[in-house]
């Protein structure tokens, strides 16, 4: 059999209602649902080549072999192989144009692109919903990056997890919004999100409150997005972000993903609000800060963020598209 390959591009997303914690770690099922916005401009391109000449799966990230991430990648590939009914090993190459492993959701874009590229390379046709279930096995937040715009990933109730899929709430063009990413450090985070989540579930006294609060947070966010109400979306997103960090900080020992510049940006955003500019922050498991604002205020917000000591750069983004194939053709020969 000849090698078969495909390449896909996907974009990271920022959660407006956060996913933090698993109800089943082996199946990567979330303890809470989540809602995000997929980001334009930042992207990960992932190529998959199933090749009879390979004895094991291979992975390179940004041109360097990565044995650590290979296990999760192989888990996704195993499911694809099982569906396709073959045993071929794969070579996977992934490149992101933004800092990876630093709380900028590189695993979300990488596993969304992987799910799409691997199924295509294997000759399978899958719905976006099914692809979101597949991508979830590698990284939970990747389920959301299959879709563009505003996206909900359902917690689901079933033990097999087939009802834990993502779906689009609002397409990217339906609500122009500025999302500015203040990069405060390119260094990899100290505790990965999966480890951080399990540690939080097992040791944080606030864990039950975090889980209990999720359904109301999701309902409120769905309504606010439907109404395209920046103030409500922003207030709810900031609350979900702070609640997620609070439950993680209360773990033993506590998890602190922020640096001094992260906190300085949070204050700068709140000062902007006091001056009448609706801007709201969100932070994932790392020190970068994403700021939501109206497109007409983006210039002013960008200038304020750039002036915060410790901010290395500010990336302009907006709601972006879901994962897409770059070349879906089956390769023959070589």
* 321 belongs to the binding site for ligand PMV (CB under 6 A): no
- In terms of CB distance, is 121 or 151 closer to ligand PMV? 151
- Contact between residue 121 and residue 159 where contact means Cβ atoms under 8 Å apart: no
Decide if 178 contacts 301 (C-beta within 8 A): yes
Q: Per rule CB under 6 A, is residue 23 in the interface with ligand PMV?
A: no
Contact predicate 105/284, CB 8 Å: yes
- 139: contact with ligand PMV by CB under 6 A: yes
Half-sphere exposure at residue 154, Cβ-oriented, CA atoms within 13 angstroms: 14
Residue 197 vs 311, nearer CB to ligand PMV:
197
Q: Show contacts with ligand PMV in window 228-267 (CB under 6 A).
A: none
Are residues 313 and 41 in contact, defined by beta-carbon separation less than 8 angstroms?
Answer: no
* Backbone conformation region of residue 161, classed left if phi is above 0, alpha if psi is from -120 to 50, else beta: left
50 vs 210, beta carbon nearer ligand PMV: 210
Closest to ligand PMV by CB, 15 or 122: 15
* Total binding residues toward ligand PMV, as defined by CB under 6 A: 15
**Phi, psi of 246, rounded to the nearest 5 degrees:** -65, -45
CA distance 201 to 167: 26
Q: Is 70 in the site for ligand PMV (CB under 6 A)?
A: no
CA angle 73, 45, 27 (to 5 degrees): 30
Span near ligand PMV by CB under 6 A; candidates 15-23, 159-167, 203-211, 300-308? 15-23
Tell me if 19 contacts ligand PMV by CB under 6 A.
yes
107 makes contact with ligand PMV (CB under 6 A): yes
Give the number of other CB atoms < 10 A from CB of residue 249: 17
Nearest approach, Cβ of 91 to ligand PMV (angstroms)? 24
Half-sphere exposure of 80 (CA within 13 A, CB side): 30
Restricting to residues 194-223, which ones interact with ligand PMV according to CB under 6 A? 194
- Is 287 a binding residue for ligand PMV by CB under 6 A? The answer is no
Determine how β-strand 58-61 pairs with β-strand 89-96: parallel
Nearer to ligand PMV, 108 or 133 (CB): 108
Q: How far is the CB of 214 from ligand PMV (least distance, A)?
A: 11
Judged by the rule CB under 6 A, the positions of this chain that interact with ligand PMV are: 15, 18-20, 34, 105, 107-108, 139-141, 193-194, 284-285
């Amino acid at each position: 059999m000849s090698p078969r390959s495909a390449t896909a591009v996907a974009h990271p997303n920022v959660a407006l209602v956060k996913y933090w914690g698993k109800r089943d770690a082996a199946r990567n099922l979330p303890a809470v649902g989540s809602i995000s916005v997929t980001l334009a401009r930042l992207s990960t391109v992932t190529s998959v080549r199933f090749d009879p000449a390979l004895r094991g799966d291979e992975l390179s990230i940004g041109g360097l072999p990565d044995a650590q991430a290979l296990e999760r990648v192989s888990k996704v590939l195993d499911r694809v192989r099982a569906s396709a009914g073959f045993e071929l090993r794969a070579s996977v190459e992934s490149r992101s144009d933004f800092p990876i492993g630093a709380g900028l959701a590189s695993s979300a874009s990488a596993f969304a692109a992987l799910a799409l590229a691997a199924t295509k390379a294997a000759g399978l046709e899958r719905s976006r919903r099914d692809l979101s279930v597949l991508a979830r096995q590698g990284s939970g937040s990747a389920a959301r990056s299959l879709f563009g715009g505003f996206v909900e990933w359902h917690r689901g109730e079933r033990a097999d997890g087939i009802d834990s899929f993502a779906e689009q709430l609002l397409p990217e063009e339906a609500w122009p919004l500025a999302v500015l990413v203040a990069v405060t450090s390119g260094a990899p985070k100290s505790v990965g999100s999966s480890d951080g989540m399990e540690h939080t579930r097992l040791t944080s006294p606030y864990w039950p409150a975090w889980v209990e609060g999720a359904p109301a947070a999701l309902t409120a966010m769905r309504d606010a997005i439907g109404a395209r109400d920046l103030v409500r979306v922003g207030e709810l997103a900031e609350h979900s972000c702070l609640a997620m960090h609070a439950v993680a900080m209360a773990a033993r020992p506590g998890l602190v993903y922020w640096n001094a510049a992260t906190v300085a940006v949070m204050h700068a955003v709140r000062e902007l609000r006091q001056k009448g500019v609706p801007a709201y922050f969100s932070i994932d498991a790392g020190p970068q800060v994403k700021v939501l604002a109206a497109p007409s205020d983006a210039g002013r917000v960008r200038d304020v963020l750039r002036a915060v000591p410790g901010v290395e750069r500010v990336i302009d983004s907006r709601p972006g598209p879901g994962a897409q194939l770059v070349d879906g053709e089956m390769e023959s020969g070589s």
